[in-house]
Amino acid sequence: MKELIERLRAFAPAERVLENEPMSRHTTFRIGGPADALFFPANADELARSMRVVDELGEPCFVMGNGSNLLVRDGGVRGLVICIGEPMSAISVEGATVRAQAGASLARLAREALDASLAGLVFASGIPGSVGGAVAMNAGAYGGEIRDALARALVLDSGEAVWKTADELHMGYRNSDVLRRGMIVLEAEFALAEGNHDVLLAETNELARRRREKQPLTLPSAGSTFKRPEGHFAGALIQEAGLKGFRIGGAQVSELHAGFVVNLGGATARDVLDLIAHIQARVKETSGVTLEPEVRIIGEA
């Protein structure tokens, strides 16, 4: 690990190459043990160089965005974690086309589209993720999905930067070839439509109101804990199983929306994992439906 740190710091300042960094500082769950090394690349070149270093040294590597859909186990993450964030977050608007680097937040992307009176990204205005993560998992909410607006994405595929369309990425429900094949999103291009600013603003405000009323926005979480099972809603199944408000340690099924597991303060990853397992068992028992986690789980126990 010492050699990995030294080689990264040969082309990036020490403040962007951290050792034994608690991942609880970098996930919206506010949970997670330390990463052996955490790197914040400033551009695509640094990202590619860091990938070459881990390949040459045989170190494991995980790439993340802003950690909004991530649970890191208490033992932390071995090897290198690459966090694509603020240094790679430029957004540009040309006509009805919006281009955004992977580190840009979805909220900012939706705001830029709104400011330009462009329709197609209102649904994304309250999703607490980055553009790269959103493309990778085809993020969605309130009937919209990233693939609906995505024209193409620049991805690092087997060390080569290539543009791929949404169809070529085979984007499905909370999945894509980015995840299936271990690609890294560098930037994305969205094809939007001209809209009425006042109408778009009203729609954005309405979705914000609905989120405030129905989602536990004041507590740390990773968003919706489970994928939507076909023909059902996870939150409804969990509530019907009598688990709303149920807790293990510092982890609780939200009292506001049963589809969210929240950190009441001091929750460990073990608390969350035990709660997820309990929810799955109870829902299976009461409804016969198997719930599959939407949150990504990494690291060592």
Q: What are the distances in angstroms from CA 6 to CA 2, 37, 42, 47, 50? A: 6, 11, 17, 16, 11
CATH class for the domain made up of 89-199: alpha beta
pLDDT values of the chain reduced to their tens digit, one per residue, 301 residues: 899 999 999 999 999 999 999 999 999 999 999 999 999 999 999 999 999 999 999 999 999 999 999 999 999 999 999 999 999 999 999 999 999 999 999 999 999 999 999 999 999 999 999 999 999 999 999 999 999 999 999 999 988 999 999 999 999 999 999 999 999 999 999 999 999 999 999 999 999 999 999 999 999 999 999 999 999 999 999 999 999 999 999 999 999 999 999 999 999 999 999 999 999 999 999 999 999 999 999 999 9
Question: Among candidates 115, 61, 90, which has minimal Cα distance to 189?
Answer: 90
Q: Tell me the catalytic residues.
A: 174, 224, 294
pTM: 0.93
Per-residue tokens: 53: 């270093």
Cβ(50)–Cβ(41) under 8 Å?
yes
Nearest residue to 243 (alpha-carbon basis) of 226, 229, 261: 261
Q: Where are the domains of the chain?
A: 2-86, 89-199, 217-298
Phi-psi region of 54 (alpha: psi -120 to 50; beta: other; left: phi over 0): alpha
- Is domain 2-86 in CATH 3.30.43.10, yes or no? yes
Kindly report the CATH class assigned to 217-298: alpha beta
